[in-house]
């Protein structure tokens, strides 16, 4: 029961992070109007948050690597709550830009350290499910939190959306304080007991390959998601209000896919699960490029893409943790930076064909290509592991023969 409450506290933090990251996309016109700037300029606030995640994840995880996990999670959530609440009081472009950057700093470190804590709280063989429970907060935010925050921001005032984030932050602080047990930094992470001696994190080639896999492979999803609005309205010819429903439908798929991915990581090895998920993502995005004109098909595919994409979350985080032996917090946090790099790079790459006059369905094709590239990286890592194992066996045989 204590472990479940602690995982719920982590999920609540994930809910708040998902809310602040995505709600601004729904209230961007209101924010622009309130600060008397253009909508494209207001879009810089999204980029500022993502930059904060990229910078803050390895930085704060490194700083807090020696601190007890519970204490570090509390400090990160205090930071998150303060600067998201201050975002609501921003009265000009520079002030809001600064607050969004500072709000993004604890994002990656919270998920990175939280995923380590989740594995430590889990029963033997259930580490992936524990990580999925933490990530469930992020997925549920897309179904409940973001639509609610968008409604409040559009109906009343955009600042209310950030006050809502602050309230979630306070509840997360209280739940971590009362429900999270003290966990020693020396406690062995389950499912990693048989791993070899640690390699220094910044010299770990396999870890960097996994981070590249995250940045490129998950960019396939963001290539599609960034252009979901014109896909619904211009290609499928549906009314504007259907975009919100499509995003909720995709969010429901994310919730289910998150837990399916955890089960896949238990049945298969994490990296093999990632290959299966990214291969399926590539295929469904190609199908989407052909069927998006159909109003029913585009909504069904929104659910399927959301589901398939989030089957990769828990297995990929497990693969990172297993690879970053001795520096799990830093590695897991850097993976969150990679997700946000995937967000930005996927959206940028998908926009290039549109610049040259191609249909918005081309964004799905770009997404499929990025997912396929991710599969190739994952396959390369598996091949490297096999070759490394063969070399180790040969050295062992030579040592035995020498004796």
Phi, psi of 246 (to 5 degrees): -65, -40
DSSP notation for 11-78: HHHHHHHHHHHHHHHHSHHHHHHHHT--HHHHTHHHHHHHHHHHHHHHHHHHHTTTS-HHHHHHHHHH
Instruction: Report pLDDT digits (tens) over 29-68.
Output: 899 999 999 887 888 888 889 889 989 988 998 888 788 9
178 plus 262 within the same structural domain: no
| Alpha-carbon torsion (77, 83, 89, 92), positive or negative | negative
In a domain, 307, yes or no: yes
* 359 plus 260 within the same structural domain: yes
Q: Is residue 166 part of a domain?
A: yes
Contact 310, 258 (CB under 8 A): yes
The answer to whether residues 175 and 250 belong to one domain is no
The pLDDT, as a whole number, for residue 257 is 95
Question: Is residue 5 located within the same domain as residue 150?
Answer: yes
How many other C-beta atoms lie within 10 A of the C-beta of residue 320? Answer: 26
In a domain, 75, yes or no: yes
**pLDDT digit string, tens, across residues 71-121:** 999 999 999 999 999 999 999 999 999 999 999 999 999 999 999 999 988
Count up the domains in the chain and report the number.
Answer: 2
In a domain, 189, yes or no: no
Full residue range of the structural domain in which residue 213 is found: 195-403
Residues 240, 308 within the same domain: yes
> Is the per-residue pLDDT at 200 higher than 70?
no
User: Do 384 and 213 contact (CB within 8 A), yes or no?
Assistant: no
- CA atoms within 13 A of residue 338's CA, in its CB half-sphere: 25
Residue 122 confidence (pLDDT) above 90: no
Question: Does residue 70 share a domain with residue 215?
Answer: no
Residues 125 and 251 in one domain: no
Q: Is residue 200 part of a domain?
A: yes
Q: Are residue 18 and residue 164 in the same domain, yes or no?
A: yes
Final residue of a structural domain among 182, 216, 234: 182
CB 217 within 8 A of CB 371: yes
Task: Tell me the average pLDDT across 240-257.
Answer: 90
**CATH number, domain with residue 310:** 1.20.1250.20
Q: Which of 152, 182, 212 marks a domain boundary?
A: 182
Q: Is 202 found in the same domain as 137?
A: no
Which of 135, 154, 182 is the C-terminal boundary of a domain? 182
**Helix extents (H) in 122-241:** 127-140, 146-155, 158-179, 205-217, 219-225, 228-230
**Cβ atoms of 359 and 235 closer than 8 Å:** yes
Phi, psi of 312, deg, nearest 5: -90, -15
pLDDT band at 324 (very low <50, low <70, confident <90, very high): confident
Nearest-10 Cα torsion for 58, 62, 63, 64: 100
Among the listed residues 103, 106, 88, the one whose alpha carbon sits nearest the alpha carbon of residue 48: 103
Instruction: Specify the range with the lowest mean pLDDT, choosing from 102-106, 162-166, 271-275, 393-397.
Output: 393-397
255 and 157, same structural domain? no
| Mean of pLDDT over the chain | 88
- If asked whether residues 166 and 307 sit together in one domain, one would say no
C-alpha 135/C-alpha 146 separation (Å) is 15
- Please tell me whether residues 268 and 245 are part of one structural domain: yes
The pLDDT score that the predictor gives to residue 393 is 81
* pTM exceeds 0.85 for this model: no
């Amino acid at each position: 029961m204590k472990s479940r409450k602690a995982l719920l506290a982590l999920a609540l933090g994930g809910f708040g992070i998902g809310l602040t990251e995505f709600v601004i996309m729904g209230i961007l016109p209101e924010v622009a109007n309130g600060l008397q700037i253009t909508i494209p300029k207001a879009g810089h606030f999204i980029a500022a948050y993502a930059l904060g995640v990229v910078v803050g994840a390895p930085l704060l995880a490194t700083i807090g690597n020696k601190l007890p996990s519970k204490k570090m999670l509390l400090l990160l959530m205090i930071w998150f709550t303060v600067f998201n609440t201050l975002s609501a009081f921003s009265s000009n472009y520079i002030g809001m830009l600064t607050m969004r950057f500072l709000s993004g700093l604890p994002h990656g470190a919270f998920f990175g350290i939280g995923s380590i804590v989740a594995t430590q709280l889990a029963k033997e063989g259930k580490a992936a499910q524990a990580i999925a429970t933490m990530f469930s907060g992020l997925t549920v935010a897309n179904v409940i939190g973001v639509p609610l925050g968008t409604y409040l921001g559009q109906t009343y005032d955009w600042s209310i959306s950030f006050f809502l984030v602050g309230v979630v932050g306070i509840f997360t602080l209280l739940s971590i304080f009362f429900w999270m047990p003290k966990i020693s930094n020396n406690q062995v992470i389950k499912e990693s007991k048989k791993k070899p001696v640690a390699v220094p994190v910044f010299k770990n080639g396999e870890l960097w390959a996994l981070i590249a896999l995250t940045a490129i492979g998950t960019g396939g999803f963001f290539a599609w998601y960034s252009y979901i609005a014109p896909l619904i309205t211009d290609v499928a010819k549906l009314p504007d209000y259907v975009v919100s429903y499509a995003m909720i439908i995709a969010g429901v798929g994310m919730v289910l896919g998150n837990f399916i991915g955890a089960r896949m990581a238990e049945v298969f090895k994490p990296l093999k699960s990632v290959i299966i998920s990214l291969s399926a993502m590539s295929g469904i995005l190609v199908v989407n490029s052909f069927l998006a004109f159909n109003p029913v098909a585009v909504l069904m595919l929104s659910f399927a893409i959301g589901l398939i994409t989030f089957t990769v979350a828990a297995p990929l985080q497990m693969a990172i943790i297993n690879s970053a032996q001795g520096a799990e917090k830093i590695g897991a946090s850097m993976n969150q930076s990679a997700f946000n790099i995937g967000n930005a790079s996927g959206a940028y790459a998908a926009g290039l064909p549109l610049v040259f006059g191609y249909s918005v369905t081309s964004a799905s094709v770009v997404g499929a290509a990025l997912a396929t590239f991710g599969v190739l990286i994952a396959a390369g890592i598996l091949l490297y592991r096999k070759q490394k194992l063969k070399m180790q066996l040969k050295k062992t045989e030579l040592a035995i023969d020498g004796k």
